[in-house]
Structure 1
Amino acid sequence: MRPFVSLSLCLILAACGGDQDQRTTPDETGDLEVTAGSGRTATMPPGLDDSRWRWVEAHCTEGPLDLLARGYAAHVRVHQRGENQLLLVHDQQFATESCEHTVVQQATLPEGGGESWLMEEVVRVAVPSTDACYGRPEENRPGDVRMTDGRLEVLVQRSQWCNGLEVRMVYERAAQELLAEDEIVRRYVAHFMRGDADAVAELFAQSGALLEPFTRTETGDPYRHEGRNRVQRWFEESFTTAPWRAMKIAEIEEGEASGGATQRVVTWEYMDPRLTEPMTGRSRFTIAAGEIFELQIELTSEPSLREPAEGEAAEGEEEATET
């Protein structure tokens, strides 16, 4: 499936938090340089790996940030990557605006010690994929990830949430829960655009299957990859064929429910450097107990491949895209 919710090379649009013309954004010269200040050294909080948190409040430098008027609610799952990096996967809802996001944020400790983490928004998936819902991604900024009185605090300097001032998001620990169907779809898209085959495969049940149209059987049917390991291997190989992938969800529909499983039918647009224009398709997710049991990918347009540059090896159409 390929919702092309613009990469995180995203060039888009309206800000998430407040009117941009209310304040002048501070000078950002040297913003990402870690310099001496309070003398505090950023450290990795213990016990965050594979934890889940519920948003409870937000603050800007000048005071509380009211998001309840927008019907805001959010959960974040935290995954530790080595000794110095966290991956924060945010599922956000703006009920008043009928808008939902999955945002993947990477937080990296400074090399050699320092006060500030580097906070990077890696990818953003919005449903619906309108400019108003998508908003404008955060630039890379200094920030902090810390525990205060048992609560998780995520700080980003010069944030769009606060019109150029620091934002502090506060979360309380939450019980682990199964992912909802639409969360699974958005995470699939987010991890697909990141090129993270392991994270994509983790969304599948151990016995889950992928049916894809890029490898054909002798009878011309879509090829079926059975089991999470084979699904992971296919995505891992697929992600080597393009340096980036952009996906946009055009629509998510509820399919027929059967035997305790639910279905989501997702129409999408997809783009990568090998194509001259976006291609379109449809993906059918069969989901049960918070996992994908079957994903069937269908193309609804033929890929239009650009002419390879001199010295480049031409690639077969079957490699033109992966979903």
Structure 2
Amino acid sequence: MRMFLGLSACLLVALAGALAFSPRSAPSLRPTDVPVERMRIDGIKASAAGLVLAGELGQIRFSIDQGVSWHPASVSPQRQALITRLVFADAHQGLALGHEGWILRSTDGGRSWHEAAFTDSDGQPLMDAARLPSGDWLAVGAFGRVLRSTDAGQHWAEQSIGAPGDWHLNAIAASPDRHQWLIVGEAGSLLRSTDGGVHWQVIEPFYNGSLYGAVGLGGDVWVAYGMRGKVFRSSDAGLHWSPVRLSRSESLYAGTLGPDGTLLLAGQGGLVLSSRDAGQSFQVLRDGGQENLTDLQVDSSGALLLASDAGLRRLPLPPRPQAASGAPTSSQEIR
């Protein structure tokens, strides 16, 4: 009996040792899932897939029900680098740009994304991109980096457009007719093109702070915005600029035109401004909060979707007032 117990104990020890040292595959980790209500979002756009947003940890989501629910897009490979900007050339073709020179492209409205460029070491962030009238894509980013793609965003090469120094280039924007183009950036950097992005002219700096974006309003009228609530206006296709006087000092990070032509700007502290006179004066639509607003998108219901570093926000837009001739349209006008 003792011999039997001893053999049984030895057998159990042997089996335990074999189990302890046998090869085992670790369970795969689930992708990090940050709720849209709390994630950092750097871009939101409308596409054939509905609404698409992107930002923190390389996450891209799409919604087919105007933001009621969100689904993870397929991202291959998933680098988990911060995405800084979403851009769509049309309802189907888009780019997501990010840190480490990461470029993802989509041809199905943002449901799936495939890598076109990534730099493992010393990769500067890319900040914006646009498809030019020629069909080429142009991307801009940190330290004056400019990339061009001639094959629908599949391959990219360094491009020189005469940008001054190595200042960060923050945004590229087109006029509504896509003939005039601006690139804006750090230290008041601004380049203009009046031939669809074929040639670029450096404009003498008129501001010593960063410009974060620009919006073409039609004709030769442009508005540029940036650090410390600075807004500038040009009526000669970006050649000369004048400051728009505002009583606010919050930095402005995003701008767009609403369906009715209203100019909308947003930025630090949850601030949203609107202008219905082509950028000559602005009204406060939203004020207060800790979040920084990074992008704007008007949904099909007419509400303004606000991307921020603290999640997605929604702001009902007021109807355009039918004011009598000469009557003020807002008690919050600032100029």
**TM-score, length-normalised on structure 2?**
0.27
Q: Which has the higher contact order (CA 8 A, sep 6+)?
A: 1
- Give the TM-score normalised by structure 1: 0.28
